[in-house]
Amino acid sequence: MPYCYSDLHHKIEVIVRFHLKMSIMSSNFLRIHLPLFTLFVVLTSFGAHWVWKTGYQNQLTEQRSQIEQYASYILTKLDKFAHIPRLLSKDQRLIKALQNADNPAQKDLTNRYLEEVSKLIRASDTYLLDRKGNTIAASNWNQELSFVGRNFGWRPYFQQAIQGNESHYYALGSTSGKRGYYYSYPIVYAADILGVVVVKMDLSAIEEHWEDKTSYFIATDPNQIIFMSSKSEWLFKSVTPLTLRAQLKLHQSKQYLDKPIKSLNLTGDFKATTTEWFDPSRIWISGDYLVTSRHLDNIPLTIRVISPKISIFWNSFGFIVITIMLFTILYLSGLLILHRKSRQKQFDQIQYEAKQKLEFQVMERTAKLNTEIEERKKTEQQLIQTQNELIQAAKLAVLGQMSASISHELNNPLAAIRSFADNGRRFISSGKTERADENLARIASLTERMAKISTQLRSFAKKTDNDELVVAQIFPIILSTKELIQSQLKAHQIHLELNLPETPIWLNVNPIQLEQVLLNLLTNAIQALENQAEKQIHIAVATYHEQLYLHIDDNGDGLDELNLNRLFDPFYTTRKNGLGLGLSISQQIIQNMNGHIEAAQSPFGGARFTVILPTVPAPVTEATP
Give 18-32 pLDDT, tens digit per residue: 555 555 555 555 565
Task: Quote the pLDDT of residue 247.
Answer: 80
Packing angle, helices 511-528 and 582-592, rounded to 10: 150
The residues facing 392 across adjacent strands are none
The CA distance from 184 to 83, in Å, is 10
Mean model confidence pLDDT for the chain? 80
Other beta carbons within 10 angstroms of residue 358's beta carbon come to: 10
User: pTM here?
Assistant: 0.45
483-508 confidence digits (pLDDT tens):
778 878 888 889 999 998 888 999 99
Q: Which domains does the chain have, with CATH numbers?
A: 81-206 (3.30.450.20), 210-300 (3.30.450.20), 346-463 (no CATH), 467-614 (3.30.565.10)
- Mean pLDDT: which of 21-30, 99-108, 348-357 is highest? 99-108
pLDDT of residue 1: 43
Q: What are phi and psi of 511, to 5 degrees?
A: -60, -40
CA distance 148 to 125: 12
Nearest-10 crossing angle of helices 582-592, 344-429: 100
Given this model, what pLDDT does residue 5 score? 46
Return the DSSP state at 221. -
Q: How confident is the model at residue 392 (pLDDT cuts 50, 70, 90)?
A: low
Q: What is the mean pLDDT of residues 38-45?
A: 82
What angle do the packed helices 344-429 and 511-528 form, to 10 degrees? 70
